[in-house]
């Protein structure tokens, strides 16, 4: 399940293992990717899953160089270790997550 992350909570959330979806309410592609994450997340208990609305939280996307949405950034200990951009297919997201385990 995706947890709402904000500019204020990002540092704490990113301290562990975090898959962060950058989204906006108007983004239909983001909704598809969010659905994929919701479907896959129960199988990955060691990973935290979050989403950040770029419309109301502009600082984090700017700091991480997010130029388009949907974008997923994979963070471990606050450091980026992977990035996926665009309408990511569920099978591609699964392969990426399985590579982290």
Work out the mean pLDDT of the chain and round it to a whole number.
Answer: 94
Q: Which long-range contacts (CB under 8 A, 24 or more apart) does 41-44 make?
A: 41/1, 41/2, 43/97, 44/97, 44/100, 44/101
How far apart CA 55 and CA 2 sit, in angstroms, is 17
Give all domains of the chain, ordered by start, each with its CATH number: 3-100 (3.40.30.10)
**Helix spans in the chain (H):** 10-13, 28-40, 59-64, 90-100
Q: pLDDT band at 101, cuts 50/70/90?
A: low
pLDDT one-digit tens code per residue, 25-60: 999 999 999 999 999 999 888 899 999 999 999 999
Question: What integer is the mean pLDDT of 70-82?
Answer: 95
Other CB atoms within 10 Å distance of the CB of residue 57: 18
């Amino acid at each position: 399940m995706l947890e709402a992350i904000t500019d204020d909570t990002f540092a704490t959330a990113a301290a562990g293992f975090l898959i962060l979806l950058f989204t906006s309410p108007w983004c239909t592609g983001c909704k598809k990717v969010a659905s994929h994450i919701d479907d896959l997340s129960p199988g990955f208990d060691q990973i935290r899953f979050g989403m950040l609305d770029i419309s109301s939280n502009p600082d984090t996307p700017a700091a991480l160089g997010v130029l388009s949405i949907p974008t997923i950034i994979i963070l471990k200990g606050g450091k980026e270790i992977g990035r996926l951009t665009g309408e990511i297919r569920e099978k591609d997201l699964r392969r990426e997550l399985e590579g982290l385990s």
